[in-house]
Amino acid sequence: MKRRSTQLKSEQEPESRVENSIPCPVPGCDSKGHLSGKFDFHSAAEACPCYHHLTPEDCKSIYQKRIKLSADVDRLEASFGDKKELRQRPLQKSQSTYRSQVDRLRKTKTKSSTSESTRDEPSRDREGNLLGLTSEFDLNLFRQAQSQFAEAKQEQENHDDQSAKLIEFGTFEIESWYRSPYPDEYAKLRKIFICEFCLKYMRSAAILRRHMAKCVWRHPPGDEIYRKNNINFFEVDGKKSKVYCQNLCLLARLFLDHKTLYYEVEPFLFYVMTEYDSKGCHIVGYFSKEKHSLMNYNLSCILTLPHQMKKGFGRMLIDFSYNLSKIENRIGSPEKPLSDLGLISYRSYWTKVLMHYLADFEGKDISIKGTRAVASASDGAASFL
């Protein structure tokens, strides 16, 4: 997935509306057809007819059968009336006949074009040969399920393509990685403009300029709990600053695949890391944690903004969460599962911590629980390394 953040130019260049189509990764495929039978082109292997040993015509035939079957099921359900009484009703003659027919069809396997000894080995470029493994009836059900899944996924991708692709944040233009549940009137825009201090989102650059002329915020709400050089940490209560924390979650969802918390922010504390200059405190990243965690989690969500990555800020956020656990006299670890980037950051952090400890260690016996460096989070170290 393409990820970038670029400094805004003084003069805006004209935006190109032409989007290049993504070719199918399956060798020998021209991207024509779709496993669902509903679309003319595809860009993923799971939607490739060639990958599944089918032709575009086969996929369209499966799609028509699936539509017909769905219509038959809807018609039957409408004729049943109250569904709660279905189990108490005796089988009708047509139902018994159909059941016998299905039982008979399932006893007959499909004929394979190759013998078991000459069957092709599994390949990443093609689906395994399913002929001869099961009955034609079950194979058709499986194909219809694949077709339905491919259709749902393609429709979701088409919906995501209509969501905002870019955000203007301070002096940066950042390309989003995932879709965030902004209101519909904003989600359909190609670019969303966000105030880097109060995190309010807007439709256009003109609205943002007018807002910045009136916005009095120059740092996150809440208490400043740490300062060193130009780095600050602010503790923001989700209950006291609800709108700010909701906007922060919506911003984070643009870059986190597993982010599910958007609006219920009251039970959480948000620790926002900023970089200070003459204009104010600019957000670098943040992490959140529950106020009262039964599992002693010291972190629920963590994010470093894309234009601030690869500067060591992610490790600093992680280290800060463990230092808070030390102050609270708790053994804590982050909630699982972590995002892909979060997992990489934690492994990098613990590798560095343990390597420093081992380099300075002068004793004979060593254990994770015995180290002062990781005494407050021994469970975290063991789980990530």
Q: Report, as residue numbers or ranges, the catalytic residues.
A: 335
Q: How far apart are CA 270 and CA 358, in angstroms?
A: 33
Count Cβ atoms within 10 A of the Cβ of residue 57 and give its class: 0-12 exposed, 13-18 middle, 19 or more buried.
exposed
DSSP 61: H
The amino acid present at 136, given as its one-letter code, is: E
> 């393409």: which residue's tokens?
2
Q: How far apart are CA 370 and CA 374, in angstroms?
A: 8
**3: nearest Cα among 287, 211, 293, 309:** 309
Contact status, residue 377 vs residue 334, Cβ threshold 8 Å: no
Task: Give me the sign of the Cα torsion angle 205, 211, 214, 215.
Answer: negative
136-161 vs 56-80: helix axis angle to the nearest 10? 100
Q: How far apart are CA 68 and CA 62, in angstroms?
A: 10
CA 201 to centroid of chain Cα atoms: 21
Q: Give bridge partners of residue 288 from the DSSP assignment.
A: 270, 301
Tokens, residue 277:
């200059």
Q: Any idea how long the chain is?
A: 385
Q: How far is CA 135 from CA 81, 128, 130, 235, in A?
A: 33, 16, 10, 61
Tokens, residue 61:
């035939």
Q: What is the DSSP string of 88-154?
A: GSPPPHHHHHHHHHHHHHHTSBPPPSS-GGGPPPP-SSS----TTTSBHHHHHHHHHHHHHHHHHHH
